[in-house]
Amino acid sequence: MSAKESSSGSSTVEYIQHHLTNLCAGDCDPVTHKAASFWAWHLDTLFFSFVLGALIVAVSWRLSRRLTAGVPGGFQNFAESLVEFVSTQVKDTFPGYNPLIAPMALTIFLWVWLMNFMDLIPVDLLPVIASFFGIQYLKVVPTTDLSTTFALSLTVFALIIYYNIKVKGVLGYLKMFLFHPFGKYLVPVNIVMTLIEELAKPLSLALRLFGNLFAGELVFLLIALIGGTMAVGLAALFWLPLQVLLDLGWLIFHLLIITLQAFIFMVLTIVYLGMAHTTEH
Amino acid sequence: MKNRPAGSGLALVGVGSMLTSMIAAGFLLGYGLDSWLDSRPAFMVLFGGLGLVGGFLKVYKLLSRD
């Protein structure tokens, strides 16, 4: 662990900052390794989110070939209850019928959950393994990167606009902007207000997921620092058990958070798309 | 829960961050308009205020609907 080699305050900051820096390629700042413009790629985010997406595809493809109508095995049971759970949510929340919504909700739930789950892997494990291969920076949790959460929420936003226009027509959609909160006498205010309201949807989706996961990651880093910086000699006998205890506690609590955040993202996607499908606002 | 229009119950999940993100969205929209019209901070303040009002209204509406 890089934290164990040092005990001064500045290297504590360095340790945290190092862990919060993405592996950047393209147009990056050479000193801070942060993205300098739009054309910068966070390779670690792309890699892990792609791998986890591929994992979902591979596992469900494998499962689909082994599906039985008779007595299902353990994993099929689990998958069935998951699909059942999501489809119940969609039926309760979504007005009307759209064959795209339930599969998409399931995909969002699984993918976001898996990306969040990367948070529960020991914070130093993957970066240390990567450093053996000469990779200096590695941020393993894709959802602690704003690029991921905004990519997800802007995709949902595009779908919201698409279904709004498809269901209400272009004119019907524009009419929604004119008369919505304050009636017909305050049309300019209504336009701004509805614009703000629509813009707040992807913003809140992305920032909520990012904020929760970023904070969770930060707490894991701080807990890792307890044993790392303070355990010298006999003091380790006290600090290391404390670290283990705190880590376990936060891990169990965080397991709840990552599931809840994935669930909230899924539910709000369904709700927003449901709003797009209904004419009354 | 059963009598409510579909979606209203679970929409409450997002109430907490709705208010903040409405303000943020207002500021962002104002910021964009300001850098276009070169009039900072007029629209940023105006739209931020509108976002705050709209956020309160929206949350109130969501919470009082039953």
For the stretch A150-179, pLDDT in tens is 999 999 999 999 999 999 899 988 888 887
Q: Tell me the average pLDDT across A129-138.
A: 90
Catalytic residue among A7, A77, A81, A204: A204
pLDDT computed for residue A3 by the predictor: 43
Lowest mean pLDDT among A17-21, A116-120, B60-64: B60-64
pLDDT computed for residue A240 by the predictor: 81
pLDDT computed for residue B3 by the predictor: 44
Q: What is the pLDDT of residues A189-230, one digit of tens each?
A: 889 989 999 999 999 999 999 999 999 999 999 988 887 666
- Evaluate whether residue B12 is within a structural domain: no
Task: Determine how β-strand A24-28 pairs with β-strand A35-42.
Answer: antiparallel
A191 interface with B at CB cutoff 8 Å: no
pLDDT at B8 over 70: no
- Evaluate whether residue B18 is within a structural domain: no
Domain, as residue range, for A229: 3-276
pLDDT computed for residue A228 by the predictor: 65
- Evaluate whether residue A281 is within a structural domain: no
- How far apart, in whole angstroms, are the C-alpha atoms of residue A264 and residue A270? 10
Please give the structure tokens belonging to residue A133: 């291969």
Whether the complex's predicted ipTM is more than 0.90 is answered with no
pLDDT at A1 over 50: no
| Pairwise CB contact (< 8 Å): B54 & A181 | yes
User: Least CA distance to A204: which residue of chain B?
Assistant: B21
Task: List the one residue out of A229, A228, A223 whose CA is nearest residue A243.
Answer: A223
pLDDT band for position A2 (50/70/90)?
very low
CB atoms within 10 A of CB A267: 25
pLDDT at A56 over 90: yes
pLDDT computed for residue A14 by the predictor: 86
Look at chain B and report how many structural domains it folds into: 1
pLDDT computed for residue A6 by the predictor: 43
- Evaluate whether residue A144 is within a structural domain: yes
pLDDT computed for residue A218 by the predictor: 93
Compute the nearest-CA separation of A272 from chain B (Å).
Answer: 8
Q: Give percent of chain A above pLDDT 90.
A: 50
- How far apart, in whole angstroms, are the C-alpha atoms of residue A62 and residue A64? 5
pLDDT computed for residue A93 by the predictor: 84
pLDDT computed for residue B2 by the predictor: 42
Mean pLDDT of chain A: 87
Domain, as residue range, for B41: 24-66
pLDDT at A4 over 50: no
pLDDT computed for residue A231 by the predictor: 56
User: Would you say A86 and A102 are in contact if contact means Cβ atoms under 8 Å apart?
Assistant: yes
pLDDT computed for residue A232 by the predictor: 64
Look at chain A and report how many structural domains it folds into: 1
- Evaluate whether residue A41 is within a structural domain: yes
- Evaluate whether residue B38 is within a structural domain: yes
- Evaluate whether residue A10 is within a structural domain: yes
Known catalytic membership, residue A22: no
Give which of A85, A86, A196 to mutate to test B binding, by max B Cβ within 10 Å: A196
Among B5, B18, B29, select the one facing A199 at the smallest CB separation: B29
pLDDT computed for residue B24 by the predictor: 92
- How far apart, in whole angstroms, are the C-alpha atoms of residue A137 and residue A150? 22
B58 chain-A contacts, CB cut-off 8 A: 197
pLDDT at B17 over 80: yes
User: Would you say A217 and A16 are in contact if contact means Cβ atoms under 8 Å apart?
Assistant: no
Q: What is the pLDDT of residues A222-234, one digit of tens each?
A: 988 887 666 566 7
- How far apart, in whole angstroms, are the C-alpha atoms of residue A36 and residue A54? 29
Chain A and chain B share a number of CB contacts under 8 A equal to 75
Please give the structure tokens belonging to residue A213: 């996961």
Q: Tell me the average pLDDT across A252-279.
A: 91
Lowest mean pLDDT among A52-61, A250-259, B7-16, B53-62: B7-16
pLDDT band for position A45 (50/70/90)?
very high
- Evaluate whether residue A14 is within a structural domain: yes
Please give the structure tokens belonging to residue A194: 């509805």
